[in-house]
Amino acid sequence: MIIDVHHHVAPDFWLSLPGGTADEGRVFRGWSPSRAIEELDRDGVATAYASLTVAGGRFGDPAATRRLTRRCNDYMAQLRRDRPGRFGMFALLPMPDIEGTLAEIAYAYDELDADGIGLLTSYGDAWLGDPRFDPVFEELHRRKAVVFTHPTSNAACTHRQDWLGPAPIEYATDTTRAIAEYVFRGASQRYPAVRMIFSHAGGTMPYLVQRFINQGNGKFKAITPNGFLAEAQKLYYDTAQVPARGTMLALKAIVPESNIVFGSDYPYRTCGWTAGLLASGEAFDAQGLQAVFHNNAARLFDLPQAKA
């Protein structure tokens, strides 16, 4: 049974707020927890770890953002209680409000027993790994957190091709920038207990990896004494939107198979579509598919391993 780490939910109060992405209304039309369960059953998914869609312009002043993140986390926690074993939750945080974020981490873990934390790849002019976020990662390190990261369209990089939208290019690029920041700022070494999941196979990182290796052996040698690749291999990567053979082979050439986890990006793509491409692409043998579908994520969340 599949474990899906990239599974979006969208309560009505979230969708009704201004500032969402252009296609949310279309994608989530008719969505409900019951419908999601039906589709999980159809596609052989045991557990889906819920996260909110990209916040977009929904985050406003710090006080309102704190209230909104609390409401979202209470919603996801109730969703998990109502359907035990079928949903997990990645708690939403009011970043880049550091004080509010630390308070919400405490609430998410101590009151809601969250499975992990959901972060965007960047906030304002800073990507994950920026020293401004060190207090947050120090706390996540203390809690040995699983952190699911979702890309966004950073203000410095968006509106380049409005007709295309941000998802095809900017999301992958923002993920790549976040990985570079996280590694070359030294965060991957300072916070080894944080288990980071980067979406969409790490964006464009697998295709640019030699450039990053060169930087790690040159300009950033003092920060990455073991090289970029050693740090990148500590991270986890999901299969959402990019499960085809070429991408998976590129990712497997860089990171161990044990660090690739199943992500569907539901409801933007179905779990069945993702699983079908993974199974038919010949990038993984039967044991590798079992690891990606279930066992790698089960190890992250301390769940039973699937038997061959």
Interval 27-82: pLDDT, tens: 999 999 999 999 999 999 999 999 998 776 788 889 999 999 999 999 999 999 99
Domain boundaries, the chain: 2-300
- Average pLDDT rounded to a whole number, residues 277-295: 96
More confident residue, 163 or 146: 146
Place 25 in a pLDDT band, splitting at 50, 70 and 90. Answer: confident
HSE toward the beta carbon, residue 55, CA cutoff 13 A: 24
Instruction: Starting at the earlier edge strand, list the strands of the sheet with 87-92.
Output: 2-9, 45-52, 87-92, 116-120, 146-150, 195-198, 236-238, 260-261
How far is 131 from 305, CA to CA, in rounded Å? 37
User: Among 89, 103, 82, which residue's Cα sits nearest to residue 146?
Assistant: 89
pLDDT at 75: 98
Q: Tell me how far CA of residue 148 lies from CA of 58, 62, 287, 295, in angstroms.
A: 20, 22, 25, 17
- Average pLDDT rounded to a whole number, residues 146-157: 82
pLDDT at 59: 85
Taking a C-beta distance cutoff of 8 angstroms, is the pair 47, 87 a contact? Answer: yes
| H helices present in 83-204, as ranges | 98-110, 134-142, 172-184, 187-190
Pairing of strands 126-127, 122-123: antiparallel
Residues 6+ away with beta carbon under 8 Å from 274:
239, 240, 243, 262, 263, 264, 265
38: its two tokens: 């039906």
Place 305 in a pLDDT band, splitting at 50, 70 and 90. Answer: confident
Which region among 3-12, 165-174, 239-248 has the lowest average model confidence (pLDDT)?
A: 165-174
pLDDT at 57: 73
How far is 113 from 77, CA to CA, in rounded Å? 8
pLDDT at 132: 97
pLDDT at 169: 66
Identify the bridge partners of residue 110 per DSSP, sorted by sequence position. Answer: none
Q: What percent of the chain has pLDDT over 70?
A: 94
pLDDT at 170 over 70: yes
CATH architecture for the domain at 2-300: Alpha-Beta Barrel (3.20)
How far is 280 from 135, CA to CA, in rounded Å? 43
- Strands of the chain (E only): list them: 2-9, 45-52, 87-92, 116-120, 122-123, 126-127, 146-150, 195-198, 236-238, 260-261
Interval 214-251: pLDDT, tens: 999 999 999 999 999 999 999 999 999 999 999 999 99
How far is 152 from 174, CA to CA, in rounded Å? 7
Identify the bridge partners of residue 123 per DSSP, sorted by sequence position. Answer: 126
- Average pLDDT rounded to a whole number, residues 270-294: 96
Q: What is the mean pLDDT of the chain?
A: 93
Print burial letters for 255-267: b (CB count within 10 Å at least 16), e (below 16): bebebbbbbbbbb
Interval 83-93: pLDDT, tens: 999 999 999 99
Place 163 in a pLDDT band, splitting at 50, 70 and 90. Answer: low
Task: State pTM to two decimals.
Answer: 0.94
pLDDT at 141 over 60: yes
- Average pLDDT rounded to a whole number, residues 87-102: 97
pLDDT at 54: 77
How far is 102 from 236, CA to CA, in rounded Å? 24
pLDDT at 279 over 70: yes
Residues 6+ away with beta carbon under 8 Å from 221:
none
Taking a C-beta distance cutoff of 8 angstroms, is the pair 282, 292 a contact? Answer: no
pLDDT at 255: 97
pLDDT at 114 over 70: yes
Place 181 in a pLDDT band, splitting at 50, 70 and 90. Answer: very high
